[in-house]
Structure 1
Amino acid sequence: MTAPVRRPGPHADEPHRGGLNDRLNSLRAGVLGANDGIVSTAGIVVGVAGATTERSAILVAGVAGLVAGAMSMGAGEYVSVSTQRDSEEALLARERRELAEDPEDELAELAGLYVEKGLDPDVALEVAGQLTARDALGAHAEAELGIDPDDLTSPWRAALASMTAFTVGALLPLLTILLVAAQARVWVTMAAVTAALALTGWASARFGYGPVRRAVVRNVAGGLFAMAVTYAVGSALGTQL
């Protein structure tokens, strides 16, 4: 018995909605920002806690690290994504010019790309012609450049996601170490950071379709190593000052 032919359309378990690139980039910036906020701020406050038990010193260092880190993450993300977007817009402008000046060669070029992907030349030319008639720039940009002209990444959205996530991530170790008694604050902070890093590792793997266990172990191990090093440095300096 012949299996029924499935109607054309996207797979239900895979994302094919418009604007996916921008959303995924914001998600990437958010997860990265949260992870950096947790690790860098935890490293600062644990390092200072290794040198002194003064709550005010830990607060000042933690808040300074939070503000500086959030600003740095936002600015870095904005510059990086703006550079990427400038390059994409320049490539799209060139493609528009080529389509206007030599549409026949561009059609042949697009068909050739589909032939390279395995289509019969006649079928490739028919597909290229239909796609060009519907949206010439979109068809060429997707096939030649891997760019969706309607889904360019927003620098401001990526910067805001990164700054917000960094701040939220940084607040966890900062508040934990300030609210817990001096004799237990380092260990409780390490435990809280471990749980938070496991969560961000899971999120990055879950939304990026990667292996969860590897991401969690990598995240947690890196964060614990950073805290251990900064605590050791703070303790060593604290005995000398």
Structure 2
Amino acid sequence: MRHAERHRSHRIGWLRAAVLGANDGLISTSSLIVGVAAADAPIRSVLLAGLAGLVAGALSMAAGEYVSVSSQSDTERADTEKERNELKSQPAAELQELAGIYEQRGLSPSLALEVARELTALDPLSAHLRDELGIFESTRARPLLAALASAGSFCVGAAAPMAVAAFWAAGNLPLVIAATSLVLLAVLGGISARLGGAAIARGALRVLAWGALAMAMTAGIGKLFGTVGI
């Protein structure tokens, strides 16, 4: 019977971008709304500020992720092309280099050379990318996917405080937004920790702390500098 194992490394690219986007969308938009609402601004101004923050934040996250991951992708592409050329121009040296890598990992010289020959016969480029450069297909940089995941999750995170601000009419809006956002942050932190194989409580607490700090600071700024009817 085949032994089945579940690993999480294939999630690294999109999971990091999605979690970062959702956290940023929730924290930044709720903090913005709390700050404007704490200044006793009319609800129209609160919603307009939140919407502007949502659009600007989502586009900023997408652009940042795309540029950042594109740089990683460019590096991987350049290394791949360099390795391909070296395999064509000096295959014997590359074979010895691969065997040396396996020796350093504990194989005997003869077995290391045999393994290197077998893998070179199968797919020399993949063997060198994986074992020499640490480039795996499952973790390759995907700029567009990272940008879309980041922007989409930012909008999802920002939608919650926007919805509360739009439909809450019983007063104490800053407090309600803060409480709702902190609960959602704890849930999001726990889910992301669970997906990544980390402790759920630790994942929840680390986003709660930063979210609470951000909202407390913007609420203080709104109270300190705000005026009615901004």
The normalised TM-score by structure 2 is: 0.93
Alignment root-mean-square deviation, CA = 1.9
Aligned twin of 1:163: 151
The 5 Å alignment of 1:1-241 reads: 11-15=4-8, 20=10, 23-148=11-136, 152-181=140-169, 183-239=171-227
Shift of 1:178: 2.5
Letter in 2 for 1:85: S
Q: Give the match's secondary structure for 2:6.
A: coil
Q: Is the 8 A contact 1:31 1:203 kept in 2?
A: no
Partners in 2 of 1:58 and 1:117 — Cα distance? 59
Partners in 1 of 2:139 and 2:224 — Cα distance? 51
Letter in 2 for 1:218: R
Q: Is the 8 A contact 2:37 2:174 kept in 1?
A: yes
Shift of 1:152: 2.6
Letter in 2 for 1:79: V
Partners in 2 of 1:36 and 1:154 — Cα distance? 21
Shift of 1:182: 5.1
Q: Which consecutive aligned stretches of 4+ in structure 1 deviate over 3 angstroms post-superposition? A: none
Partners in 2 of 1:11 and 1:110 — Cα distance? 29
Note the residue ranges of structure 1 that are not aligned, 5 or more in a row: 1-6
Letter in 2 for 1:57: S
Partners in 1 of 2:14 and 2:57 — Cα distance? 18
Q: Is the 8 A contact 2:62 2:151 kept in 1?
A: yes
Percent identity between matched residues is: 46
Partners in 2 of 1:78 and 1:164 — Cα distance? 13
C-alpha offsets along residues 33-89 of structure 1, whole Å, 9 cap, x if unaligned? 000000000110000001024100101100000000000000000000100000000
Q: Which moved more, 1:115-124 or 1:146-155?
A: 146-155
Q: Is the 8 A contact 2:33 2:50 kept in 1?
A: yes
Note the residue ranges of structure 2 that are not aligned, 5 or more in a row: none
